[in-house]
Structure formats: C-alpha cells, structure tokens
Amino acid sequence: MKYKNILWDWNGTILNDTPVAFEATNILLERYNYPTITLEFYRDNMDTPIVNFYSKIFNLNKHDMQMLDDEWGVLYHQLSDKIELHTDVEEMLSTFSENNLNQIILSAFKTDEITKYARKFSIEHYFDDILGTQNIVMESKTARGKRYMQENGFTSEQTLYIGDTVHDYDTARGLGIDCILFSGGQQSPKLLKQCGVPVYNNFVDIANLLTEDM
C-alpha cells in the first residue's frame, strides 16, 4: 500500500454527528425566532470558521457569536445520545490496523471529548494518537499535524488525510499530503467536488481503493 500513515478527521468523518449538529442548529434558530433550515441547506452552506456559516442564518449584529456557539454546544451535548459511528468506518479502522498502518485523529474537537466517544464506541485502540484541541488557545490542525509528522518521521508521500469538509482538504494541502473526502458528513458532495480530490459517499469504496494493493 502506498500509505503508511492515515490522518483522520473526527466529526462528520468517523463520528456521524451531522444529524445532531443540524438539529441543534435548528433548535437555536427557533429559540431566537429565525426560520429553520433544511439539511440540504446546512450541508451546502456549512463552513469553517463557523462564523461564516452563522452569518448566513443569524443576524450577528444582534447576537454575540460566542454566546450562540456556547448555546449550540449545550444543545449538541443534550442530543449526543443520538450520535453513532458512520456505517462501515469501524471495519475500515480494523483493516488498517491489521495492516499496521499508523492511524491518527487530527481534529478541531476537544481531545477529551474525542477520547470519550472513542471509548464509548470501543474504537480507541485503533488510534496511535489523538491530536485534538487541548485548551482555549487553539492551534490550527495544520500546525498540529506538521509538528506531529516531523516528530514522528511521517513523510508526505506516505501520509493520507481522510475528512469530510473543504477545510479538511485545505488542511491536507497545508500539510503537503494527499486527501480523500467522505461526502456523508458535514458538507455536501457539491462543495467537496470543487476541491479536485477523490470524493466517496461510503467507506467500503474508500477501503477498497486503499487496500487493493495490500
């Protein structure tokens, strides 16, 4: 196999939390008397940083962005029992593990929250490291990834990033590594296909592509 190191995004890629994120967004919109949105609109307009998305659905001249984000976080937590793993992703993690690939989570989500969910779904043993955020001063995914790759001798040619957003593609580009995007997460295929990298709607096809020469 060409790749020896897999960098994984977490939210929307491994963790199927888009339905909960979408539901929390609509509850927040209703709370402040804004029209609710469709899942299609959500996935066509989700953006990073999140303020870019919020500016499309809230009047940020009337609301404090941090307050909205904090309230959304509470709603996400309240709905979190509905969160599951994406179909077939655990089988893919297992296959990569059996073939001795290094698997690292590189995410903007808090490290302790990722760890909590990984333990809940009994998948923590597949990962060599979790590169989430540790504190309020959030270092970018690209900066964390670069440092980790340098410290662990990961070459760009042997490292792949798997994510579900244009931001993940931008992260991979910043790291100088290949990228595959999964279209069943936070952003729609329409957005992802603009990146010019492979886009797949299921993990079976991704696994087949990556393991065909194992």
Q: What is the DSSP string of the chain?
A: ---SEEEE--BTTTEE-HHHHHHHHHHHHHHTTPPP--HHHHHHH--SSHHHHHHHHS-TTTS-HHHHHHHHHHHHHHTGGG-EEPTTHHHHHHHHHHTT-EEEEEEEEEHHHHHHHHHHTT-GGG-SEEEEE-SSS---HHHHHHHHHHHHT--GGGEEEEESSHHHHHHHHHHT-EEEEETTSSS-HHHHGGG-S-EESSHHHHHHHHHTT-
**pLDDT confidence of residue 136:** 44
Same domain, 53 and 121: no
Task: Give per-residue pLDDT as tens, 177-200.
Answer: 999 999 999 999 999 999 999 999
Q: What is the pLDDT of residues 11-51, one digit of tens each?
A: 999 999 999 999 999 999 999 999 999 999 999 999 999 99
Same domain, 30 and 12: no
Range of 30's domain? 18-82
Answer yes or no: do 172 and 114 share one domain: yes
3-13: per-residue pLDDT in tens?
999 999 999 99
Threshold 0.85, pTM exceeds: yes
Q: Are residues 154 and 206 in the same domain?
A: yes
| Domain finish residue from 35, 56, 82 | 82
Q: What is the pLDDT of residues 126-165, one digit of tens each?
A: 999 999 987 545 678 999 999 999 999 999 999 999 999 9
Residue at which a domain ends, from 42, 65, 82: 82
